[in-house]
Structure 1
């Protein structure tokens, strides 16, 4: 039957006043954080100036461990190379000297030299670009520069991203040190990834611009395809429409493989879309985001395909209401100086009041930026305290195998006044929407 006559997610959706703040396409309206005309007219983004980032990293290392004998950091993860220099190529490494009077070097092969020159110029990066074709040649250059900067003939100490450097690369580096250094000198290293985790947390206005636009695109994309959520559509089919809509509206890509889960599949927090088709008295969970110039958004909406006339449908609606309330209550706490663990605790408290305390099997939230999951972490064990310009999710859920799951997630910018919620899609099961 038509959605208006049945209790499926699309029921009465086109009557919701929220739709009237955007651009009409047929019977449906697209919604964005700012006017849709502004969204569609965005052609260029503010440049991200990275000129001070290597200096900030040096200062943080010095303040964290002033006794460290390391003379340089070897940055190998693409996300940190990008944050420090603006370079987005998939091959290369950054040798970052810890001496303020010594240069740092982006080492990559010939395929990326022109790209590196252009991107470093736009981002105002002070890093020198070095062309080396083979990894062995790149490591030879790294060791030679460390040797130049090391005042005495002693063990070579290098800061590395231990979560990113492979055993093979470390062995190659040790062999290069042995071949270039005389005597008994060897390579010693210290892990430095927390330096960049902390630095990337606080977003600049240009970074917030990208994340906000990504969230707005995701909102508008969902509004443009939600009418397809009718009995008979499959998870894969809806996912294809949603992902295509985000790209059509300006996303560079999706933030991560979109999660679209119907019925019992919704009890799996990270379910991958299948050929399962939507039926009556089922939950729909959609967890997705857009990618804009490397920056992610993240949002989850759950819908209930029921008219509420059955016991199962009533239970699903009650679970939806509890999870929605948990998200809203947790979101109210988002502000500078608030402990991440307290937000997690508040969401769990609301779920417990509904008897769902044992049906949440993950943390309440996480930071979002160049990575879809990054600091700060919102879970019971977190020691993080929110800071201004953090970007975080609040995403409680309740999952029961055989019945299904509900998750509701909003994305927040931590502001001086508290927070800004940049997830604007309505949080309603749509089965009881009367406008």
Structure 2
């Protein structure tokens, strides 16, 4: 695939600096450094903190950068080894490289043509291998187990921060190596904010509580959302929850290889709109997940990408009503020819947690 990118972009070499792309292309997990790839060289540049690990994790030639031998000097040496007639063209990650880094490199390197790679390197990560799917499955299972252990601990008086800390601790106990993102715990009126930051608000009887959480296993992320009620749900809470659940199940049923992200989004969005809550569902239905938590393609009105077998997508509709609260239900699934394989197994029917 990299050879094809070299050919399609008409460049002699590719420079990769995005840490997730570095991991995917080379196997190196450190995240600090750069890859130089041409028809004759595959070079991994990093500093002394990571050179030993890089040599174990990657088949690339590992070169150590330092204040005495800076990255741009090493890249210049790599370029000078190439036998190129005419101008030298280098592909770079224009969607992630900082402007200051680009300015430094353009000044230091003997490159006549800088060619933006756009999303071509990121796109290599869209369709997952069976090994990657297994890692994603394990990460999601860790979240399932941790959430099941958390539910009996929830009670009035516990703060959002305390619940988030408990959930993160339980994920680590179950085998998580890191978090996929900062855990979201939003209760009561805070649950109307899709990405609320956990605070000192205490859980109260009758609260919606939304948990959006994930962890990493072997570098791969999980993502799941569940919303519960502390005590008995009101009729309005049940109505909103059931609309979201209906939309989520319909979105799952519509998902399969060959469909566009926009068409799947529309199925769930129409259900919420028909129930009178269209203005309260503002985000896309889902996104891909892998080494990074938000990847492409997405289930969104603005994404007409065609889904392929072994892509990963979340399906996470929500309704968020200011002054009342909100509900989101999210699963992470593998796209198949026939439909999907759901990696999440936590219950989705409305959970009313008993309160003494």
Query: Do they superpose with TM above 0.5?
Result: yes
Counterpart among 100, 115, 129 of residue 62 in structure 2: 129
d(CA) in 2 for partners of 1:61, 1:282:
55
Native 8 Å contact 1:235 1:262 kept in 2: yes
Please report how far the alpha carbon of residue 195 of structure 1 lies from its aligned counterpart in structure 2 after TM superposition: 1.4
Native 8 Å contact 1:304 1:317 kept in 2: no
Range that drifts further, 216-225 or 135-144: 135-144
d(CA) in 2 for partners of 1:326, 1:131:
52
Q: CA RMSD in A?
A: 1.8
TM-score by length of 2: 0.95
Please tell me whether residue 164 in structure 1 is matched to residue 164 in structure 2: no
Q: How does 1:238-253 map to 2 (within 5 A)?
A: 238-253=163-178
1:190 match: 115
Please report how far the alpha carbon of residue 61 of structure 1 lies from its aligned counterpart in structure 2 after TM superposition: 4.4
Native 8 Å contact 1:57 1:195 kept in 2: no
Please tell me whether residue 112 in structure 1 is matched to residue 53 in structure 2: no
Please tell me whether residue 315 in structure 1 is matched to residue 315 in structure 2: no
Please report how far the alpha carbon of residue 153 of structure 1 lies from its aligned counterpart in structure 2 after TM superposition: 4.3
Q: How many residue pairs were aligned?
A: 354
d(CA) in 1 for partners of 2:68, 2:263:
46
Please report how far the alpha carbon of residue 136 of structure 1 lies from its aligned counterpart in structure 2 after TM superposition: 6.5
2:16 match: 75
1:233 match: 158
2:37 match: 96
2:211 match: 286
Native 8 Å contact 1:301 1:408 kept in 2: yes
Please report how far the alpha carbon of residue 129 of structure 1 lies from its aligned counterpart in structure 2 after TM superposition: 1.2
Counterpart among 391, 395, 398 of residue 312 in structure 2: 391
1:208 match: 133
Which ranges in structure 1 are unaligned for 5 or more consecutive residues? 1-55
Could you say if the C-alpha distance between residues 60 and 172 of structure 1 is closer, same or farther in structure 2, counting changes exceeding 3 Å? closer
| SS of equivalent residue, structure 1 residue 286 | strand
Please report how far the alpha carbon of residue 89 of structure 1 lies from its aligned counterpart in structure 2 after TM superposition: 1.5
d(CA) in 1 for partners of 2:196, 2:6:
40
d(CA) in 2 for partners of 1:91, 1:352:
45
d(CA) in 2 for partners of 1:150, 1:219:
54
Which ranges in structure 2 are unaligned for 5 or more consecutive residues? none
Native 8 Å contact 2:23 2:31 kept in 1: no
Native 8 Å contact 2:229 2:353 kept in 1: no
d(CA) in 1 for partners of 2:69, 2:80:
17
Please tell me whether residue 269 in structure 1 is matched to residue 202 in structure 2: no
2:77 match: 144
Moved over 4 A (4+): none
d(CA) in 2 for partners of 1:362, 1:220:
28
Native 8 Å contact 1:392 1:411 kept in 2: yes
For the pair shown, which has the larger CA radius of gyration, 1 or 2?
1
Please report how far the alpha carbon of residue 432 of structure 1 lies from its aligned counterpart in structure 2 after TM superposition: 9.5
